[in-house]
Structure 1
Amino acid sequence: MIIVLILLLSVNGEQNKKEDEDIYGLIINILCIKDLLTNIAKAAKDIRKITNEVEQKIFQQDPIKLRLMKTIKHKE
């Protein structure tokens, strides 16, 4: 009887350990996904900033576009 009880406790302990490992794995995956999404959001902000800087430099250095912008403003 004691042996059966020990075996049942052992099996139950292994099942609990497996469930804990599964939950731990899920938590790690969620944290990794959160980090990945955070990095993507940061990269998107950086890309937007660089795009705006490039656009400003193009407008500053291209007289045709500047003339076009002035013409559009005068017609409004």
Structure 2
Amino acid sequence: RIVHGSIAQGLFSIGDQLLEINNINIQREYRTLDEIVQLMDSLHGTISFLLLPCDEINHGIHNQAFNHNQ
């Protein structure tokens, strides 16, 4: 879930495919949403996402990073 007004708003779109978090291939390493949420809860500082945007599927990969402070 993306919080309205957060730094992540506008970086993700409905239909984007999340491939990696901090260079961890989540499609290979994590099987459920709960596992991905646990991974993200354990991360601090800069979190990098590797996305396959829904409007750019088969046209390229988009990489975004932002600071995650708890």
TM-score, normalised with respect to structure 2: 0.22
TM-score, normalised with respect to structure 1: 0.21
Larger radius of gyration: 1
RCO comparison, higher one (Cα < 8 Å, 6+):
2
